[in-house]
Amino acid sequence: MLRTLLVGLGRSGTGLHLPVLLRARRAEPGLFAAGPVVGVDPGRTPAAPDGLTVAAGLRDARRLLDPDRTVVHLCTPPTVRDGVLEEVAALGFRRLVVEKPLAADRAALRRVRATVDRHHLDVTVVAPWLHSALTDRLATLLGDGTLGAVRHIGVTQHKPRFRRSLTASSHTSAFEVEVPHAVGVLLRLLGDAHTEDASWSDVRLGDAVAPRLGTARLRLTHHTGGRSEVYSDLTSPVRRRRIVIDTDHARLTGDYPISEDDDVAQLLVEHRPGGGSTTVTRELLPDDALTRCLIRAYRHAAGRTAPDDAILPGGPGDLGLHIRTVELLDDARRLAAMARPHHPLTTDRKEVAGHAG
Ligand SMILES: NC(=O)c1ccc[n+]([C@@H]2O[C@H](COP(=O)([O-])OP(=O)(O)OC[C@H]3O[C@@H](n4cnc5c(N)ncnc54)[C@H](O)[C@@H]3O)[C@@H](O)[C@H]2O)c1
């Protein structure tokens, strides 16, 4: 049975991982050892919420935990990912759950991969959209062939994020905030790709500016011939996590849950088989994807992976898809640095080119 070390006690560490872990421990008592979750964060001395013991540093945490029976969650900003990974590995921890993105850029990715190889680490990247019931349903619908070939996938990932972007330095561009989730799903649904073009913009409020944290847009061309586009506006007045898939005979519009407040995804299927009339169906899918992702990660760490989970691209212990995500986003950053910034007037009118909201 496994204990937990949470490294980074910010929004993702204490706001997302801790409550989900406490729920998962109740749901799967045989997987998790008794004893509190241990947390470390040199930048904060938070009042420890129920179920969390805060250690003074990683060495102190090591004294409280047996590395062979501990899963370490890295909930630190992407800019320090590689350094913290090396520190944790040097203390003997081998099983890790790492927040997305796996690395900030290609240079950091090389350091992450070197640490993983040198210390024989087993790493699961937190990628809830890959574990989502909506993504599974889309993969099934596209996989059975009745909807024809995929022509285009557009993803919009909008939310207002003025305050966090202007006050916290945890992200260097909007490509790190929501976009890694979408790119992982696009690679799963359409296969490998290259970045065709990309742009970004700053967020401004009065005199305050956070460079590159306003919007991020990128287009991918997949090696199978399909095309996809992601647009994330962090200055939007509305929250939206939508995927629109156009195939030869259908349009699928999927809405991922927009926050931890409600975990039901929605899917609208508009099907026009071979010139016939269009049928429209709506599906509602319970979709607590982060809980599913973490439970799968712990089953994997305990050597109890279910057969279906073992083949999930980008699932527990599989870094390939996440490495490609970092590489495609690194290319997007380089292309965006040369492109004209895209400043939306309002995002609620038009989302991804060709796909009115
Ligand atoms: N905020 C979200 O809703 C959210 C959701 C999903 C994923 N994420 C991802 O989680 C990661 C963290 O994001 P966040 O929003 O929690 O950031 P955050 O700034 O709220 O928290 C990060 C914490 O890490 C701590 N930290 C920095 N260096 C450290 C070190 N060397 N050792 C231990 N702690 C250290 C900081 O003091 C801070 O408290 C990012 O990669 C982000 O993309 C965030």
* CATH code that applies to domain 129-288+316-356: 3.30.360.10
Residue 77 CA to ligand 1 center (angstroms) comes to 4
* Residue 36, helix vs strand vs coil: coil
Among the atoms of ligand 1, which is closest to the Cα of residue 176?
A: 43
Q: Are strands 150-160 and 227-233 parallel, antiparallel or unpaired?
A: parallel
Q: Two tokens at 340? A: 């004209």
Residue 16 beta carbon below 6 angstroms from any ligand 1 atom: yes
Domain layout of the chain by residue ranges: 3-125, 129-288+316-356
220, 173, 225: which is closest to 198 by C-alpha?
220
- Cα separation, 234 vs 161, whole angstroms: 5
pLDDT in single tens digits along all 357 residues of the chain: 999 999 999 999 999 999 999 989 888 889 999 889 999 999 876 677 788 999 999 999 999 999 999 999 999 998 899 999 999 999 999 999 999 999 999 999 999 999 999 999 999 999 999 999 999 999 999 998 899 999 999 999 999 999 999 998 778 999 999 999 999 999 999 999 999 999 999 999 999 999 999 999 999 999 999 999 999 999 999 999 999 999 999 999 999 999 888 999 999 999 998 778 999 999 999 999 999 999 999 999 999 887 777 778 888 889 999 999 999 999 999 999 998 876 666 555 554 444 433
Residue 40 beta carbon below 6 angstroms from any ligand 1 atom: yes
Residue 74 CA to ligand 1 center (angstroms) comes to 8
308, 352, 340, 353: which is closest to 140 by C-alpha?
308
- Cα separation, 238 vs 256, whole angstroms: 14
Residue 12 CA to ligand 1 center (angstroms) comes to 6
Residue 184 beta carbon below 6 angstroms from any ligand 1 atom: no
Residue 12 beta carbon below 6 angstroms from any ligand 1 atom: yes
Residue 355 CA to ligand 1 center (angstroms) comes to 33
Which phi and psi (to 5°) does residue 76 adopt? -95, 165
232, 243, 163, 155: which is closest to 199 by C-alpha?
232
Fold of 3-125: Rossmann fold (3.40.50)
